[in-house]
């Protein structure tokens, strides 16, 4: 994975990892996901629980497409413990699963159908239900079956992969929307994006309960949002993913990080 920028030009060293291009971002991100899963598997093995599931929640959107393709190809394909990794959706647009904008479609095309993922390990938002409210309710119910009675009241995903929108949204938590403050719910119905569509999303407390949160940020159009999020602007939902017992990492390409680090010195490998 990319090296942190330690030469004093990255004020977010240790949290922000920068690579030159979108392709290198995808490779760094796949490596990071693999690393988290491998460490978790080793920890469970040492704890005498080698068969326990490992839970990863994945975002949709465009940025992670290549990451998922890299993860489902060699060398990861042969090494990844597919049988025991459970994949969940961070959020979904309320569209049929065959729609080009469906996040499930993206996950299936780039990862779930390419790697030997057992169907029972795929946990998705069912957009065939009557409405997003019902979709959120049923998605939360299915999560509660996987994470019964979690300490702290929220499930602890081993890894959550997030993106950042130009407006600072993350998952389907958009600036100024009431769901961003959803109390005890794990999943809620919402709407947003361009074009705006109804959606179902995990809530902030769920994202913040994760053991590892990995943000993927690519392209110059995200530079302002990334700067705002790293500086903790509370108006941006992505800033509010703050795991108390977990770790947040930002993986960015140089264009996305252009407003927070000096150009040309960014975390070369
Ligand atoms: C979605 C996502 C969303 C995404 C950001 C960034 O359904 O849109 O899960 O939260 O991560 O919008 O999207 P891009 O990667 O497409 O810029």
Per-residue pLDDT band at 264 (split at 50, 70, 90) = low
To test ligand 1's pocket by mutation, which of 127, 135, 163 has the most ligand atoms within 8 angstroms of CB? Answer: 163
Return the pLDDT at 6: 41
Q: Which CATH code fits 3-7+18-253?
A: 3.40.50.1360
Q: Which band of pLDDT confidence, cut at 50, 70 and 90, is reported for residue 183?
A: confident
pLDDT-derived band at 125 (thresholds 50, 70, 90) equals very high
Grouping H, G, I as helix, E, B as strand and the rest as coil, residue 25 is helix
Q: What's the whole-number mean pLDDT along residues 30-53?
A: 95
Q: According to the model, what pLDDT value does residue 263 have?
A: 62
What pLDDT was estimated at residue 51?
85
Which among 131, 58, 122 is positioned nearest to 94, based on CA atoms?
A: 131
Q: Is 56 helix (H, G, I), strand (E, B) or coil?
A: strand
* pLDDT > 60? residue 2: no
What confidence tier does 268 reach under pLDDT thresholds 50, 70, 90? very low
Question: pLDDT averaged over the chain?
Answer: 93
Q: What is the pLDDT of residue 178?
A: 80
Residue 267: predicted pLDDT: 47
Average pLDDT over residues 245-264: 91
For residues 245 and 93, the model is more confident at 93
What is the reported pLDDT for 186? 97
DSSP assignment string, 179-209: GGG--S-SEEEEEETTTTEEEEEE-HHHHHT
* pTM of the predicted structure, to 2 decimals: 0.94
**Distance from residue 101's CA to the centre of ligand 1 (Å):** 11
- Residues with CB under 6 Å of ligand 1 are 59-63, 90-91, 93, 103, 163, 165, 170-172, 193
Q: What is the pLDDT of residues 46-98, one digit of tens each?
A: 999 988 999 999 999 999 999 999 999 999 999 999 999 999 999 999 999 99
Indicate the top mutation candidate among 26, 29, 58, 61 to test ligand 1's pocket, ranked by most ligand atoms within 8 A of CB: 61
Taking the C-alpha atoms of residue 44 and residue 157, their distance in angstroms, rounded to an integer, is 14
Query: Which tokens hold the place of 240?
Result: 């509010």
- Enumerate the domain spans of the chain: 3-7+18-253
Give yes or no for residue 181 having a pLDDT over 90. no
**Ligand 1 closest atom vs CA 93:** 7
Distance spanning both ends of the chain, measured CA to CA = 8
> In the chain, pLDDT over 70 holds for what percent of residues?
94
């Amino acid at each position: 994975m990319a090296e942190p920028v330690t030469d004093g030009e990255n004020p977010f060293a240790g949290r922000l990892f920068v690579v030159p291009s979108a392709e290198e971002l995808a490779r760094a991100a796949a490596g990071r996901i693999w690393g988290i899963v491998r460490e978790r598997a080793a920890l469970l093995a040492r704890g005498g629980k080698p068969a326990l599931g490992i839970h990863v929640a994945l975002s949709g959107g465009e940025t992670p497409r290549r990451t998922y393709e890299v993860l489902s190809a060699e060398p990861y394909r042969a090494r990844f413990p597919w049988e025991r990794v459970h994949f969940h959706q961070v959020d979904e647009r309320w569209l049929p699963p065959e729609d080009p904008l469906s996040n499930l479609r993206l996950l299936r095309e780039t990862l779930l159908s390419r790697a030997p993922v057992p169907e029972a390990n795929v946990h998705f938002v069912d957009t065939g239900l009557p409405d997003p409210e019902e979709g959120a309710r049923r998605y939360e119910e299915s999560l509660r079956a996987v994470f019964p009675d979690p300490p702290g009241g929220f499930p602890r995903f081993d890894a959550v992969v997030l993106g950042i929108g130009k407006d600072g949204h993350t998952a389907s938590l958009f600036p100024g929307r009431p769901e961003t403050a959803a109390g005890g719910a794990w999943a809620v119905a919402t709407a947003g994006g361009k074009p705006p569509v109804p959606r179902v999303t995990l809530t902030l407390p769920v994202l913040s309960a994760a053991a590892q949160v990995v943000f993927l940020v690519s392209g110059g159009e995200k530079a302002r949002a990334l700067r705002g999020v790293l500086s903790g602007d509370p108006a941006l939902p992505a800033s509010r993913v703050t795991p108390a017992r977990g770790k947040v990492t930002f993986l960015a390409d140089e264009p996305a990080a252009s407003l927070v680090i000096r150009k040309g010195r960014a975390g070369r490998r």
